[in-house]
Each structure stands twice: as structure tokens, then as C-alpha cells.
A and B are shown apart, each in its own frame.
Chain A
Amino acid sequence: MKLVRALAQVLLLSALYLAFERGAAAVHSPVPGSVLGAIGLAALLLLDVVPLRWFEDGSKLLLDHLALFFVPAAVAATRSWGAVRRDLWAVSAIAVVTTVVVLAVVGRLAERDR
């Protein structure tokens, strides 16, 4: 029963997602429709316009298995190997440096002003 409810909520989230993608394409939004959808849904939930339970089970199902949904993209990335091979060191260095910088900036600021 819980799974049925979760799946129905996934369908509802999918319909909302498609609507936001259409809308974003129509207005040539530079921000992805899915992100506009997340902002819109967060606003509706935070302002108590729609109850959390309408989306709770479906959201948990999708977010629990989020990693599964992007395996296909990660696998397809092997095709782009040629595009990074020459710059592999630069790309790795940028990834490491910026990750350390973000950890340090957020960690220190939040620790000071918690």
C-alpha cells in the first residue's frame, strides 16, 4: 500500500516536472525547469499550501535511489574520455582545489556564526 502511494506520488512529481520543463522552455529560462520546479514545490510546502504527506513517500523513494538514476550518465561519460584525456591533470586539480575551498569556506563561516 505504501509502495502504491509512493509510486502514485512519483507520477505526480513526474507530471509536475514535465509541466515545469515545458514552462521553462516556453520562456527560454536560463535556469533548468526541474530546478524551477523544486523552488516552486518548496515554496508550496513551506507556505503550507500543500501538505507534506502528498509528496513524502514518493520523494523518499526517488531520493533513496537517486544514485541509480545517474549511473547511465556516468557510464556514457566514457564516450567523452577523449575530451578530458589531454586535460586530465588540470581537471583533477580543479576538482580537488575547489572542493577543498568550498569545504573550508562553508565550514569556517558556519562554525563562526552558528
Chain B
Amino acid sequence: MIWTVLGPIATIGVYFLFRRFHRGSLVTLPVLATSVVLIAVLALPGGDLAGYERGTMPLKFLLGPATLALAVPLARNRALLRRRALYAVPIGAVVGAVSAVLLCRVLGLSTALTATLAPKSVTTPIAMPIAARTGGIPELTAAIVILVGVLGMAVGPRLLDRLGVRSRIARGLALGTAAHGVGTAQALSESDETGAAAGVAMVVAGIVTALVVPFLL
């Protein structure tokens, strides 16, 4: 019962604390650090995950309107939508979903895990309902999405260097498609143009993945 009240307060408090002290280090990345702290606290005796989930329902609800809010950065960067390079984003989103499903089949994973992994490249508010509708475990998708974002942020820039991807738009589109919001934050640290390209790619990739994954599973 106490966690229903304490849960949202602790989540918001720890989140803003890490936001304040985050200086580009992975250890203090707000979403990762806040999740780890709350997982640890809830694992202590007296921790009540079900109560915590009830209390944080309003926070979770906001993922819905936040998905609609993604339309705004898209509309604000309409010049980017006319760039030829953008065609790479839907291709990348389809390749990402199809390759994840194929690898799951090859490695003999359950259909629930396959549905959990299929939308793992896209932003959490879009990935979770996709997983829920296709028989996956949306909470697990959320955790994997965060880890994929951190991975993309950590290896993305170096991998793109090595592949000779130098233009700002191409780097941004790749980071946004593969690593959603975390990749977009990384792209923004390279330049404003890279960040804007990543932001547009994250939304386009999310929409394309939502349209494609239900028909893959």
C-alpha cells in the first residue's frame, strides 16, 4: 500500500536528481540510473512491485499522449522530410524488425520472446503497445529498448566512423533509427542538424515498425 504512494514520488524524485547531475556519463544516464535505483529499492524486504505499478499508472499513461506529441518534431523539421536520404529510415526499420524475428526463429526462441524483441529498436511508447498486441511482454520490451539505446549510443558513433558515414544527416538518421531517443540525444551532442535528423528518424522508424511488425508475427 505504501508503495502506491511512495512509488511515483520516489520515481520522479530520483529521476530529477539524476537529470540534474547527469554529465554525459552512462552511469548517471537518468532513465538507466533511475530504473536501477528503483529496482534495487523494490528488491529490499517490504518492496511491493504490484503496489508500485498501481501508483505509477499515471506516469505510464503519459506514454500515450507522448506518442502523439512525436508528431510535433516531425512537423517542425518538414524540410528534412523532403531529403532523399530519408528513404534509408523505413528500410532500416524493416531490416531491423525482420532480422530480429528471423534470428529469434533460428535460435529457437519462444513466440512471446520473439514478439518482445521485434520492436526493440524503436522508442518505448511505440515499442510497448506493439509488443502487447503481438503477444510479447511489454515491460520486458521497455527494458530491452533502453539497453539497445545505450548500446547504440556507446558503439554507434565509432561504428559510423569506421563505415565512413560522415555526413551529419546520415549519422543522425542511423542513430535515430537504431537507438531511438537515446541515440537522438547522442546525435544532438554531435550537432543540431544531426540531432534533428535523428529525431525525425526515430518517429518515422517507430511508425513504420508499428505498421510492419503486426504482419510479421
Contacts and interface: CB of A to CB of B under 8 A. Distances in A.
Interface residues of B, number: 109
B interface, by DSSP: helix, strand, loop or mixed?
helix
A16 B71 CA distance: 13
A96 B96 CA distance: 11
Interface string A29-60: 01111110111011001100000100110111
A73 interface: yes
A111 B85 CA distance: 7
Contacts of B139: 73-74, 76-77, 79-80
Contacts, number: 314
Contacts of B142: 70, 73-74, 77
B172 to A, nearest CB: 9
B72 A34 contact: no
24 contacts: A10-B65, A20-B68, A34-B67, A35-B207, A45-B71, A59-B72, A65-B15, A66-B63, A67-B34, A69-B62, A71-B56, A72-B60, A73-B124, A75-B35, A75-B49, A90-B107, A90-B109, A91-B144, A95-B148, A102-B92, A104-B174, A106-B170, A107-B160, A108-B163
Given A13-B66, A52-B75, A73-B128, 15 more contacts: A32-B67, A39-B207, A59-B71, A67-B34, A70-B31, A70-B63, A70-B124, A72-B52, A84-B140, A90-B109, A99-B152, A99-B155, A102-B96, A105-B95, A107-B174
Interface of B: 7, 11-12, 15, 30-31, 34-35, 38-39, 42-43, 49, 52-53, 56-57, 59-76, 78, 81, 83-89, 91-93, 95-96, 99-100, 103-104, 107, 109-110, 112-113, 117, 120-121, 123-126, 128-130, 133, 137-140, 142-148, 151-152, 155-156, 159-160, 163-167, 169-171, 173-175, 177-179, 181, 201, 203, 206-207, 210-211, 214-215
